[in-house]
Structure 1
Amino acid sequence: MVKRIRVLQWYETNPYRNLALEEYLLDQLPAGECILYLWQNRHTVVIGRNQNVWKECSLALLEEEGGYLARRSSGGGAVYHDLGNLNFTFLAHDEDFDVEKQQEVILNALKKMKICAVKSGRNDLTVNGCKFSGNAFYHKGGRSLHHGTLLVDVNIPSLSKYLTVSSEKLRSHGVSSVRSRVTNLKNYCPKLTVDLLRQRLVGSFEEIYGFSAAPILEQEICMQEVEKLYEKYCSQSWKFGRKITASYTLEHRFAWGGIQIKALVKGGLIKEAAVFSDAMQAQWPSQFEQALTGSLFSSQAMAQAALQTPQTDELTRKMAEDVAQLLLEQRL
C-alpha cells in the first residue's frame, strides 16, 4: 500500500543524466512510496530498449544538427524530445504499481484545464484522436516505472524529420505520417506552459493519491551513483547495441508491435542473433535473442526457441506464440 508520495522536479536537460537519475530513483525506492519525477531533455531522440537505431532515426541528420541519441530501459517506440515537451515518470514497488491510477493523474490534471484527453491503443494518451503522450514501462527487482512524454509545444517539424517510422506502423494507426498523428496540448489550451503543467500534475498527483507530496531534494541524491549510471547511458555500446552481419533477416508487424530478427548462419547453426522490437515488453526480445543463438537454422528449431522463452504474462505468451507461428510459416 502506498503510504507516502514524493515529487522530484528536475531541471537538467542532458538525456543521459536524466535517464541515469530515473534508474537511480528506481533502485533506491523505499517500500510504500510512490514517486513522480518530472524532467525534460533537449533536442533528443529516445529509442526503446530493443529498437534498431538505424531503422528508427535519421541519425546522421540528428548528429549534424547537434541532437542527442539516447536509449531508455523500457520497451516501446522512438520519440522526439525538446524543451516543449515534459517527461513524467511514476515509480513504485510492484504491489503499488497501478498504470490506470498513474494515467488518471495526467488525465485529471488536463481535465482541470478543460482538455478532454483519453487513453488509446496499447500505450498512448490522445486528444481529438491525436497522440500527445506515449507511455512505456520497465520492471526491475520488484520495482516498476511508468514513463512518457507530454507534448506541450514541441517542434513538430523536427519530430517528423528525425523519426523514421515504418509505413506499416503508420498504416496500423490509420495515418499517413508521424506529423498527422501527433498534437501539442497548447493547441487545446493556449495559456498552457511546461511550468504550468508541472504545477497541475503535482496537484493532481496529490489529489488522486490522497497525500501531500514531499519534495525530493538534490542533497538526498547520491550523485556519484547517478554518474555511474550516466556512463552506461551515454556509452556507445548501450546507445547502439550490437550490429551483426546477418545472412537472414525476417520482419513482421503484429498488434503488439513490430519485430525484426537477424541471424548470422554458419554450417546450419545460428552463430549470432539480434532481435529488435518496439513491443512494450522490454525483456522478451533479448531473451528470444539468447534462445536463438546456437539454435539450428530451421523453422521448427527457431519456433521452439520462441516458445521456450520465459512467458510471464499474457503479452509474452502472445508474443512467443505469434513469433513461433511466423517462423513456422517461413518453411526454413
Structure 2
Amino acid sequence: MIRQLLTYRDGCTDPHRNLATEAYLTETVPEDTCILYLWQNRHTVVIGRNQNAWRECRTTLLEQEGGVLARRLSGGGAVYHDMGNLNFTFSLPTADYDLRRQQEVLVAACRRLGIPAECSGRNDILTGGRKFSGNSFYHHGGRSFHNGTLLIDVDMEKLGRYLAPSQGKLESKGVASVRSRVVNLSQIQPGLTVSHMEEALWAAFSEVYGLPTRRLEPSQLDQAALERHYQCFHSYDWVYGQAMPCTFSCGERFPWGELTLELAVEGGVCRHAAVWTDAMDESFAQPLARGLEGCPFRVEDLCLRVEEAPACREVAADLCALLRRQDI
C-alpha cells in the first residue's frame, strides 16, 4: 500500500541522463512509496527496448540536424521529444503497481486544465479520439515503472520527419500518417504550457492518492550510481543494439505488436538471432533470441524452440505461424 508520495524534477534535458535518473529512481524507490518524476528531452527520438533503431528512426538525418537517439528500458514504440513535450515516470514497488490509478493521475491533471481525456487500451490516452500520451511499462527485481509522453506543443513537422514507422503499423492503426493520429494539447486548450501541465500533475498526484507530496532534491541522489546508469544509456551498444550480418529476416504486425526476426545462419545453424518488437510486453524478445541461437535452420526446429521458451507462451502460436509461411 502506498503511504508516501515523492516528486522529482531537475531540469535536465539530456535524454541519456534522464533515462539514467529514471532507472535509478525505480531501482531505489522505497517500500510503500510512489515517485512521480517529470522530465524533458531536447530534440530527441526515444525508441523502445527491443526496437531496431534504423527501422524506427531516420538516424542519419536526426544526427545531422543535431538530434539525439536514445533507447529506453521499457517496450513500446518510437517517440519524438522536444521542449514542447513533458515526460512522466511513476516508479514504485511492483506489489503497489496500479496502472489505472497511475493513469487516473494523468486524466485528473487534464481535467484540472479543462481538457477531457480518456484511456484507450493499455497504453494510449486520448482527447476527442486523438492521442496525446503514449505509455510504456517496465518490471524488474520487485520494482516497476510506468512512463510516457504528454504532447503539449511538440513540433509535429519534426515528429513526422524523424520517425519512420512501418506501413504495417500505419495500416493497423487505420490512418495515413503518424501526425494524423496525434494532437498537441495546446490545440485543445490554447495558451497551455508545459509549466501549467506540470503544476496540474503535482496536484492530481496528491488528489488521486489522497496523500501529501514531498519533493526529492538532486543532492539526495547517489551521483556515482547515476553515472553508472548514464554510461550504459549513453553507450553505442545500448543505443543501437548489436549489429550482425543478417541472412534471414521475416516480420509481421500482430494484434499485440509488430515483430521482426533476424537470423545469422552459418552451416545450416542459427549462430546469432535478433528480435525487434514494439510490443508493450516485450519480455519475450531477449529470451527468444537466446533460445534460437544454435538451433538448426529448419522451420520445425525453430518452432520447437519458440514453443519451448516459457517467455513466449502468449505469442508462440503467432510466431510459429509466421515461420511456417516463410520459404525455408
Q: Distance in 2 between matches of 1:218 and 1:266?
A: 51
Alignment of 1:325 with 2:321, yes or no, is: yes
Match of 1:261 in 2: 261
Q: How does 1:4-23 map to 2 (within 5 A)?
A: 4-23=4-23
In the aligned structure 2, how far is the partner of 1:59 from the partner of 1:234?
15
| Counterpart position of 1:110 | 110
More displaced 10-residue stretch of structure 1: 279-288 or 249-258: 279-288
User: What's the CA shift for 1:318?
Assistant: 2.4
Any idea what SS the aligned residue of 1:198 has?
helix
- Can you list the C-alpha shifts for 1:1-23, whole angstroms capped at 9, x where unaligned? 11111110221100000000110
Equivalent position of 1:216 in the other structure: 216
* Percent of residue pairs identical: 45
Contact 1:46–1:80 under 8 Å retained in 2: yes
Do residues 141 (structure 1) and 141 (structure 2) align? Answer: yes
Q: How far off is 1:267 after superposition?
A: 1.8
**AA matched with 1:234:** H
Name the aligned partner's letter for residue 39 of structure 2: W
Whether the 8 Å contact between 2:251 and 2:322 is mirrored in structure 1 is no
Report the aligned-residue RMSD: 1.1
Give, in whole Å, the separation in 2 of the partners of 1:72 and 1:310: 24
Which structure 1 segments of 5+ residues have no match?
none
Cα drift, residue 122 of structure 1: 4.1
Which moves more between the two structures, 273-282 or 252-261?
273-282
User: Which residue identity lines up with residue 24 of structure 1 in the other structure?
Assistant: Y
| Deviation, structure 1 residue 328 | 2.8
Question: What residue identity is the alignment partner of 1:317?
Answer: R
The runs of 4+ residues in structure 1 deviating greater than 6 Å are: none
Deviations 1:36-74 (A, max 9, x none): 000000000000000001100011110000000000000
SS at match of 2:135: strand
Per the alignment, residue 29 of structure 2 pairs with 29
Could you tell me which residue of structure 1 aligns to residue 178 of structure 2? 178
CA distance in 1, matches of 2:282, 2:66: 29
Q: TM-score, normalised by structure 1?
A: 0.96
Matches within 5 A, 1:114-263: 114-263=114-263
Question: What is the letter of the counterpart of residue 4 of structure 1?
Answer: Q
**Aligned partners of 1:305, 1:203: CA distance in 2, in Å?**
50
Q: Secondary structure at the match of 2:314?
A: helix
- Between the aligned partners of 1:282 and 1:36, the Cα distance in structure 2 is 23
Counterpart CA distance in 1 for 2:160 and 2:123 is 20
Which digits, 9 at most, give the CA deviation of each residue in 1:89-147, with x for residues without a partner? 00111110000000000001101222111112441111112111110001110110000
What SS is found at the alignment partner of 2:313?
helix
Q: Is the 8 A contact 1:138 1:282 kept in 2?
A: no
**Structure-1 separation of matches of 2:73 and 2:143:** 13
Distance 1:10 1:255 in 2: 38
Determine the C-alpha separation between the residues in 1 that align with 2:136 and 2:310.
Answer: 20
C-alpha separation between the residues in 1 aligned to 2:317 and 2:216? 44
Q: Which amino acid aligns with 1:93?
A: P
Q: Is the 8 A contact 2:123 2:136 kept in 1?
A: yes
Q: Which amino acid aligns with 1:322?
A: D
Contact in 2 for aligned 1:10/1:37 (Cα 8 Å): no
Pairwise CA distance, 1:325: 2.4
**Residue identity in the other structure for 1:90:** F
With structure 2 as the length reference, what TM-score do the two structures score?
Answer: 0.98
- In the alignment of these two chains, the number of paired residues is 328
Mark the runs of 5 or more structure 2 residues left unpaired by the alignment: none
What's the secondary structure of 1:276's corresponding residue? strand
Which structure 2 residues correspond to residues 285-304 of structure 1 after superposition, within 5 A? 285-304=285-304
1:325 counterpart letter in structure 2: A
